[in-house]
Every structure is written in structure tokens, then in C-alpha cells.
């Protein structure tokens, strides 16, 4: 195969293997190995893009393998969601999806082989005793009194473990390595434990289950994976990964390469914590648009292209770091600014009446669908005497640098007329309920009078044709500044993560199906949520536009 220019250290290592002829035909075979115990999150998206991306770049293969060695926490629902997420990101795995549990018989046979070679033994110590005997960084471990059982006895006991003769915790199978090894991982790690639990695929066929550290290299070897890419916390396990394959009957063994986990500011990347957010009702489900799960990010309105672009831009690191959320937001804006049609919607409506505009008159105003895309065409928006503008676009006593509407001031209504505010109408509580304005008929966009310049340009929605909608605005669930201060993370959920507004939009909104994305002018990018009904569309704000006023206000 032609040479691939490496852009990161993993590709450099793969190139070295190819140059050295480690794998026949320069083959490259990766895998993505999720445990089906929750929905995937943004960190998994990185791992997916990396593994499948290498498969594509080297014209190799990538497997999807469910690491389902823990029967008590795994469910079919998670398997389906993981498949959906991988496909949504735009990747297709080699052949059928695979399961570590498909290899239980082969793993058992291989464990027996290690026993026969004197490399594994059945231990009767309890979990606590095993922990005590293991020692720590300063103290070497102590050998178990059962360590030197004969091969025959070990084979018999291991077979009996499989047959269900023993209770949970009564016996385990351990690798016989070195209780004094400086790397604690190598101090006779457990290979199999007894669990009298039903498995989501193998049912009650097994009551012994392999540990991850044993199951993973063996699964990789069975699938003839070449490069087993995992996150940094497994670096210390690499000698064990290699040790477990010492007697594997294949000259081409997989090798493990570690990279840094992806962390994103304000985003939790732990399935355990994400599950608590769901189970304790902090969010509406795994796909709540505030969740950093792939399904949450999808429902929020992100595109696969934006997520892939993000993973590409952050690259592959050898040291842990935290990526700023604003990079992810940049990627979705980059994608949508070229593709999303623009619409006018008013999130917090304030009614204005153009007192000098005839009551029964309608005009159609022409607006561009996307100024950045000449092929996107135009649409007509009806204009009349009563209109909605954004409440925040009016200030009764305007502060410095506020260039929008105020008593006696003029602004332009986008692609329509210049208007002036003549009167503020309030209710008994003193709240503004309506503005009485007048329009300048000479200034319609396109007419010579439209040359007249005013500072503010506002978006608007005609009252008569307004589509009422629910707009959901999101802020991160967690603040960026949060330190690990011992408090439970659930206590730190931000109170303002969801704001629901009764908004209005121009009639064109009705033409779009659920899942459509658009830019609401001056408000940001939105997606039509699946909670929409014909009477009441629901939109999620994907991301805001960069708002110069908001920045000034912060100052
Ligand atoms: P969690 O801690 O959220 O449960 P996990 O590592 O236990 O995550 P797995 O299902 O075992 O979840 O992960 C599947 C793959 O995704 C593994 O190869 C793992 O290394 C990788 N992965 C998990 N989290 C991240 C992350 N934050 N960044 C990059 N890769 C990740
Ligand atoms: Mg894991």
C-alpha cells in the first residue's frame, strides 16, 4: 500500500510496523470495544473517530466489539444505542458486530492452556485476602498458600468452578506471574471470578466470567486485531496485555497503544455519573439535549460532520488535557453557517403596532435563505400593521451603546421599513405590553429611500401569521470552574441549564420536518425537536451566535 503520512504518534507507530513488516500485507485492523453498560459520550466519539479513522486511512478494517464480560451491569438497550451512535457518526464496522461473550469458550480453553503451562492457578483466598496479600507500591506482595497447586488439581478445580460447584467469591483463577513485581498489575492478577448471574447474551450458560485484563487481549487476538488503541489508564496494564498473549498460537499478535482521554470543559465523561443524572431525574433521559452523550448531542442538533471535525482538530495526545467547549461550538457553527437556512423567530415577543400602516394591508417581503449560500434562494415573509419584535430589542431608557429601539428612536426592520417608536403602552403593573410606532413608507428595502442609514436592524415576525413555538435554551449542566471539592457532583448541577420560552416564528417554519436545523437570525442555531406537534413546534438551541452586545454587557 502507498505510504500514509503520519499526523500523530499512533500513525507513526503504525507506519513503523508497516515498514518493519510486523503484519502480513501491511494490514491494519483496529476495533472499538465499548462496554454496553450505558450510552456513549463525547469521549467515546473521539475513540470511534480515531479507530474507524485509522481503518479508513490505512484501508484497513475496524471491528465493533461489545466488551460484555460483566453480566450484572449490561443491557441490550445499550448495545442498540451504541450501534446507532457509531452509524450516525458515519462509520460502518467490519462484518457483524462482535461480542466478547462469543469467545467465552475459546477464552476458557486458553485459560486451561495457561494452567497446563503452569501460568495460572485456582486460588481460595477471599477478595479481601487477595487485596491484603497484594502489597502496595512500597511493600512487595505475598504469595498465596494455594499458589503451588498441581496442574491436575488446578484443571479440576477450574472445571468445577465452571460447573457451578462453588459460591461467588469462594474461588478465583489467577495468573501466576510475580508477587514481587514493581508493577502491581503484574502481581498474580485475577483472570476469572464466579458470578451466578444471567448474561444478556449467554443466559445461564456460564457462572464464571473472565476479567477485562484477560478477556481484552484474547478478544483482540481472536479477531486478529493489529493495533489495540486504548486510553492512558491502561498504560500500566500493557505488560499484562502482552503477558496474557505469551502462548497465543499466532505469530501476529496485537499490540496496545495508549492515548490521552478526551475531556471537555463542563462535560462529564463518566458513564457511571451520566447514569446517575438519568436515574435521579436531573435530566429527562440519556438523550436529554444537555447530556454530553452522543445521543444527547445529536438531539441537541449537532451534526456528525461537526463532531468528526472536532475530533480531527483536537488530534491525539499523549498527555491528559481538557479541551474547551467553545471549540466544539465553533465546529457546529462552521458547519451550519454554510448549510442552515435563516429564519426569523422572536424568542421573547413584544408586540408593536404601526399606527400609520393600513389595517388591511399585506406586503410580502423578500428575504434571502442564506447569504453565505447563493443557491439557497429566497422566501417571502408577510408584513402588516402588527408585528412582534424581541423584548430585548427595546429599552425605555437606553443605556450607552444600545442602538436598538427606544422612545423617539428609529431602527430598520430587516428587509422591510424603518420605524420609529412613538409611544410605550403599559399595563397596571407597569409592564410594557405594546409599542406604538410609525413606519416611513419611503424606506422599504429596495426602494431609493432605503439608502437612509439607521444604526439598528431588528428581526420581526408578523402577528397574524406567527407560528407559536416552544424554544428550549440550554446552558452547561456544570460550571467550568467546578473543582473536586468533595461534594457530590449532583449538588453542583447548574440551576439555569434549561430555559423554556414561548416564542413565535415566521410561517416558513411550518415547512420543515423534525430534525431540520436553521439559524434564527441574531439568536443562534436551532433544531426542530422530536417533541414537536403540528400545533406546537419545539426547538432546541444548538448554539448561540457570537453576540457583540452580550460581550459588551459582560464588560
Ligand atoms: P466510562 O469511564 O465512561 O465508563 P469506559 O472507558 O469505561 O468509559 P468503555 O465502554 O470501556 O468505557 O470505552 C470504550 C472505548 O472508548 C475504550 O477504548 C475507551 O478507552 C474509550 N474511551 C472512553 N472514554 C474516553 C474518553 N474520554 N476519551 C477517549 N476515549 C475514551
Ligand atoms: Mg472501560
pLDDT tens-digit readout, 518-530: 999 999 999 999 9
Atom of ligand 1 nearest to the CA of 274: 3
pTM attached to this predicted model: 0.94
Catalytic residue list contains 46? no
Name the more confident of 321 and 160: 160
Name the more confident of 550 and 10: 10
Nearest CA to ligand 1 atom 16: 44
Catalytic residue among 113, 116, 193, 261: 261
CA–centroid distance, 284 to ligand 2, in Å, is 25
Residue 5: per-residue pLDDT: 84
CA–centroid distance, 548 to ligand 2, in Å, is 43
Ligand 1 binding pocket mutation candidate from 37, 47, 215, 217 (most atoms within 8 A of CB): 47
Question: 81: closest CA among 261, 276, 286?
Answer: 286
467 forms bridges with which residues in the sheet?
A: 505
Atom of ligand 1 nearest to the CA of 47: 30
DSSP state, 217? H
Q: Residues of 429-455 as b/e, b for ≥16 C-beta within 10 angstroms?
A: eeeeeebebbbbeebbbeeeebeeeee
Ligand 1: residues whose CB is within 6 Å?
A: 33-35, 43-44, 46-47, 230-231, 261-262, 269-271
- Report whether 101 contacts 199 (CB < 8 A): yes
pLDDT tens-digit readout, 28-65: 999 999 999 999 999 999 999 999 999 999 999 999 99
Confidence of residue 321 (pLDDT cuts 50, 70, 90): confident
Mean pLDDT across 112-119: 98
DSSP state, 394? B
Confidence of residue 486 (pLDDT cuts 50, 70, 90): confident
pLDDT tens-digit readout, 58-111: 999 999 999 999 998 778 899 999 999 999 999 999 999 999 999 999 999 999
Residue 388: per-residue pLDDT: 98
CA–centroid distance, 44 to ligand 1, in Å, is 6
Longest dimension (CA), the chain: 102
Catalytic residue among 31, 46, 201, 271: 271
Atom of ligand 1 nearest to the CA of 37: 10
- The C-alpha cell of 508 is what? 416558513
CA–centroid distance, 35 to ligand 2, in Å, is 6
Nearest CA to ligand 1 atom 13: 34
Amino acid at each position: 500500500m502507498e505510504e500514509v503520512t503520519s499526523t500523530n504518534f499512533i500513525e507513526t507507530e503504525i507506519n513503523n510496523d508497516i515498514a518493519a513488516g510486523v503484519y502480513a500485507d501491511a494490514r491494519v485492523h483496529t476495533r472499538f470495544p465499548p462496554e454496553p453498560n450505558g450510552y456513549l459520550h463525547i469521549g467515546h466519539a473521539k475513540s470511534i473517530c480515531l479507530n474507524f479513522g485509522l481503518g479508513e486511512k490505512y484501508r484497513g478494517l475496524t471491528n465493533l466489539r461489545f466488551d460484555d464480560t460483566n453480566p450484572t451491569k449490561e443491557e441490550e438497550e445499550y448495545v442498540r444505542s451504541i450501534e446507532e451512535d457509531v452509524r450516525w457518526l458515519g462509520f460502518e464496522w467490519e462484518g457483524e458486530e462482535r461480542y466478547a461473550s462469543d469467545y467465552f469458550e475459546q477464552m476458557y480453553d486458553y485459560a486451561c492452556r495457561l494452567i497446563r503451562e503452569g501460568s495460572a492457578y485456582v486460588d481460595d483466598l477471599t477478595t479481601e485476602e487477595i487485596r491484603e496479600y497484594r502489597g502496595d507500591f512500597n511493600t512487595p506482595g505475598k504469595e498465596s498458600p494455594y499458589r503451588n497447586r498441581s496442574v491436575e488439581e488446578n484443571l479440576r478445580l477450574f472445571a468445577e468452578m465452571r460447573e457451578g460447584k462453588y459460591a461467588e467469591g469462594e474461588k478465583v483463577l489467577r495468573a501466576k506471574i510475580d508477587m514481587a513485581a514493581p508493577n502491581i498489575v503484574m502481581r498474580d492478577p485475577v483472570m476469572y471470578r464466579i458470578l451466578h448471574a444471567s448474561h444478556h447474551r449467554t443466559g445461564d450458560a456460564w457462572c464464571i466470567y473472565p476479567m477485562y485484563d484477560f478477556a481484552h487481549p484474547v478478544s483482540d487476538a481472536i479477531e486478529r486485531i493489529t493495533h489495540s488503541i486504548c486510553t492512558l489508564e491502561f498504560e500500566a496494564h500493557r505488560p499484562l496485555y502482552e503477558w496474557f498473549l505469551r502462548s497465543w498460537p499466532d505469530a501476529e499478535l496485537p499490540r496496545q497503544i495508549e492515548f490521552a482521554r478526551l475531556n471537555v470543559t463542563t462535560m462529564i465523561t463518566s458513564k457511571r455519573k451520566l447514569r446517575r443524572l438519568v436515574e435521579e431525574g436531573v435530566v429527562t433521559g440519556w438523550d436529554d439535549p444537555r447530556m454530553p452523550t452522543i445521543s444527547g448531542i445529536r438531539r441537541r442538533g449537532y451534526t456528525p460532520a461537526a463532531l468528526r471535525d472536532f475530533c480531527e482538530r483536537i488530534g491525539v495526545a499523549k498527555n491528559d488535557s481538557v479541551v474547551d467547549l467553545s471549540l466544539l461550538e465553533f465546529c457546529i457553527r462552521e458547519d451550519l453557517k454554510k448549510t442552515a437556512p435563516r429564519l426569523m423567530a422572536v424568542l421573547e415577543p413584544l408586540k408593536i403596532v404601526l399606527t400609520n400602516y393600513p389595517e388591511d394591508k399585506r406586503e410580502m417581503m423578500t428575504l434571502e435563505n442564506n447569504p453565505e449560500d447563493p443557491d439557497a434562494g429566497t422566501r417571502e415573509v408577510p408584513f402588516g400593521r402588527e408585528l412582534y419584535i424581541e423584548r430585548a430589542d427595546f429599552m425605555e431608557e437606553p443605556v450607552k451603546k444600545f442602538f436598538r429601539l427606544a422612545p423617539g428612536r428609529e431602527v430598520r426592520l430587516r428587509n422591510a421599513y424603518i420605524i420609529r417608536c412613538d409611544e410605550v403602552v403599559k399595563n397596571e403593573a407597569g409592564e410594557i405590553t405594546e409599542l406604538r410606532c410609525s413606519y416611513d413608507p419611503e424606506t422599504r428595502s429596495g426602494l431609493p429611500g432605503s439608502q437612509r442609514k439607521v444604526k439598528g436592524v431588528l428581526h420581526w415576525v408578523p402577528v397574524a401569521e406567527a407560528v407559536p413555538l416552544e424554544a428550549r435554551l440550554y446552558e452547561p449542566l456544570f460550571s467550568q470552574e467546578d473543582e473536586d471539592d468533595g461534594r457530590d457532583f449532583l449538588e453542583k448541577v447548574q440551576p439555569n441549564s434549561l430555559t423554556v420560552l414561548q416564542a413565535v416564528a415566521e410561517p416558513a417554519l411550518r415547512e420543515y420536518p423534525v430534525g431540520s436545523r436553521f439559524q434564527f437570525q441574531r439568536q443562534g442555531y436551532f433544531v426542530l425537536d422530536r417533541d414537536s406537534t403540528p400545533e406546537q413546534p419545539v426547538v432546541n438551541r444548538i448554539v448561540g451566535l457570537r453576540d457583540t452586545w452580550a460581550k459588551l454587557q459582560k464588560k
